[in-house]
Amino acid sequence: MAQRFLQLAEVSEILNISSAQAYALVRSGELPAIKIGGRGQWRVEATELEGYIQRMYAETKSFVQAHPFGGSAEE
């Protein structure tokens, strides 16, 4: 069974970003997470991470369509 929650270190490894970048995504609210335990450790639900990745794909697609590189394919 796949684990439901991921540590920020695991999130940063999956996204190939630094731990500081993963923490910034969580603190900004861009990547939903929960804070658990007496030491307040962050956990990201695997489904939330997948949703974030899908949103980033959609945003990137919109950006590329709005800002084409070069000219039209017919040139």
22 found inside a domain: yes
Residue numbers of the domain that contains 24: 5-66
Residue 72 has pLDDT above 70, yes or no: no
Tell me, what CATH number does 32's domain have? 1.10.1660
State the total domains in the chain: 1
How much is the pLDDT for 69?
79
Residues 5-63: pLDDT tens digits? Answer: 999 999 999 999 999 999 999 999 999 999 999 999 999 999 999 999 999 999 999 99
Q: Is there a domain that residue 9 lies in? A: yes
Q: Do the domain assignments include residue 61?
A: yes
Whether residue 74 lies inside any domain: the answer is no
Check whether 67 has a pLDDT greater than 70: yes
Q: Is residue 71 part of a domain?
A: no
- Edge-to-edge order in the sheet of strand 41-45: 5-7, 41-45, 34-36
pTM for this one? 0.83
Q: Given pLDDT bands bounded at 50, 70 and 90, which one contains residue 73? A: low
Q: Who's near 11: CB < 8 A, 6+ residues apart?
A: 22, 25, 31, 44, 49
